[in-house]
Amino acid sequence: MKVLSVLGRCSQLPAFYKFTIIGVFALILIASFQTGPVDFREHWDKLRRPKKNGLADGIPLRVMFIGASMTLGEHSTGERGFRKQVRDWLVSQGNEVNYVGQNRYGDFLDNDVQAFGAQPIKPTLDRCKEIVPQTQPNLILINAGSSDCFQQNHWGPAFILQKMRALVDYLFEASPRATIIMSTIITSPWDNVEDCVKSANAQIRQVAADLIREGRPVVLAEMHHDQGLPGRVEKAHIGKDNMHPIDAGYFIMGDIFIESIQDVEEKGWLQPPINNGIPFDGEAERHAEEAKSEKQIQEHKPEEHAEAGEKKAEAEVKPSNAGRRRHA
């Protein structure tokens, strides 16, 4: 009777509270069937973010993340960092998404990325020249410069303004339909690195300001807490290696990137990608690749069996060297 009474009271609640209660119970049920750690935030986002018509009228988004180990998501759960979070959100808006880049990293399907561990800005530009003309991304997100500060003996904060400007100028030249989100570098618990970070960030902000003044489709995703903005990475969000964020820090970075994507969409800057043969759906592309690889493996198996049979037959006909020695 008590259960019926509770259900009766729940039925009288406003619709918002009903959906909230249902969502909580759904999370509990999901957790009860999980064998590993549960990403409650991911499940909750799926419940509260219904599909929409898509950003920029649902155009396909060919996305390139550019940077170093932080862009890869090193030391995060599944090495996913903020990239999977951003992709899940984009898909939830109703867009087809394909991540592009020379590297594949992280425990999720469409994990292509233009980032490499310990890579400063100058080598980043050199590698972009190898891939951007072929892929032609229409949304580029840059988080570069931290490796310059972690390798001050070789790089440091000198000329970051010129190097970052050269990188962005090239990206617009190689991919004219791109909208670019530049980001500053998160805080560091090491004082000497933090000094470099603040110098680098000042130069990155200047590059962004110059490009915006010139009318280029660029926005700045501010990652450092020293600008007085809420919801930024603090020292408490840095992991044991004193370099990379913990999961909570990566989530914060992802939220900031998502806010910037919403900003460029509101400005009307997102353009459809050029039709160069690259599939619009990165997960479908990966499934097709895996199916093709599996088919090729199956096709080669009969040949391998035939070769093995021929070798076995030859061995039975020809006496072995060991046999000759035994008969000698």
Task: Give pLDDT tens digits for 197-255.
Answer: 999 999 999 999 999 999 999 999 999 999 999 999 999 999 999 999 999 999 999 99
pLDDT of residue 38: 52
pLDDT of residue 316: 55
Which residues have CB under 8 Å from 69's CB, separation 6+?
Answer: 115, 117, 118, 119, 147, 243, 244
**Neighbouring C-alpha atoms within 13 Å toward the C-beta of 225:** 14
pLDDT of residue 41: 60
The 10s digit of each residue's pLDDT in 63-74 is 999 999 999 999
Under the banding of pLDDT at 50, 70 and 90, the label for residue 132 is very high
Q: How far is CA 198 from the centre of its chain?
A: 25
Over pLDDT 70: what percentage of the chain?
A: 75
- The answer, yes or no, to whether residue 314 has pLDDT greater than 50, is yes
The 10s digit of each residue's pLDDT in 254-274 is 999 999 999 999 999 999 999
Counting every residue, how long is the chain?
Answer: 328
pLDDT of residue 328: 32
Mean pLDDT over all residues of the chain?
A: 86
Under the banding of pLDDT at 50, 70 and 90, the label for residue 325 is very low
Give 250 or 325, the one with higher predicted confidence: 250
pLDDT of residue 92: 96
Under the banding of pLDDT at 50, 70 and 90, the label for residue 297 is confident
pLDDT of residue 298: 74
pLDDT of residue 322: 42
The single-letter code of the amino acid at 225 is H
Under the banding of pLDDT at 50, 70 and 90, the label for residue 324 is very low
Q: Do 45 and 93 contact (CB within 8 A), yes or no? A: no
The 10s digit of each residue's pLDDT in 71-120 is 999 999 999 999 999 999 999 999 999 999 999 999 999 999 999 999 99
pLDDT of residue 296: 73
State the Cα–Cα distance between residues 98 and 81, nearest whole angstrom: 17
pLDDT of residue 293: 76
* Distance spanning both ends of the chain, measured CA to CA: 95
State the Cα–Cα distance between residues 204 and 161, nearest whole angstrom: 6
Over pLDDT 90: what percentage of the chain?
A: 72
**Mean per-residue pLDDT, 137-152:** 97
The 10s digit of each residue's pLDDT in 14-38 is 655 555 566 656 665 555 555 445 5
DSSP codes joined into one string, 253-290: HHHHHHHHHHHHHHTT---PPP-SS--S-HHHHHHHHH
Q: Do 120 and 67 contact (CB within 8 A), yes or no? A: no
**Mean per-residue pLDDT, 135-143:** 98
